[in-house]
Amino acid sequence: MKNHTVTDSPYGPLTLVAEDGTLCGLYMENQRHRPPEETFGARDDSLFTGAAEQLTAYFEGELTEFTVELRLNGTPFQRSVWEQLCLIPYGETRSYGQLAEALGNPQASRAVGLANGRNPVSIIVPCHRVIGASGSLTGYGGGLPRKQRLLDFERGAGLF
């Protein structure tokens, strides 16, 4: 059974989705690959207190690592990519190629990029920390300006 809530952030509203009480989605407005609203289930703010508190602490610069329990629904390969994303330290970045190497398949950088783009729990699973091999910003489901803001924020360039 799915439920959802909406919480404010420096990016505007974030929709949090839980399946059987475990966070399985965090979506920004106009995010690419955002599921239809009708799939989010009934609104129930009580299920998301911990996640909302951690997001607030993150945006206030007080939290660098999330401990929210997650249910990451995807293929085994997608889940392996998303697990690698969670290993990228706050304030650091990795390239798609580096993630592919970490997964034991250096030729899979394009597949890593596709899986990264399908990350269902943005911000908490930090897909924004993945950049091109040249150091350039590449795609981000929330848009490149949001990605740049998150990276600048984590690098200490100022709070939102």
Q: Confirm if 25 and 15 have CB atoms less than 8 A apart.
A: yes
Catalytically annotated residues: 127
Phi, then psi, of 3 in degrees rounded to 5 = -140, 165
* Buried residues in 79-91 as b, exposed as e (16+ CB within 10 A): ebbbebbeebeee
**C-alpha dist (Å) from residue 123 to 1, 12, 101:** 23, 13, 23
CA distance 160 to 151: 11
Region of 140 on the Ramachandran plot (φ > 0 left; ψ -120 to 50 alpha; else beta): beta
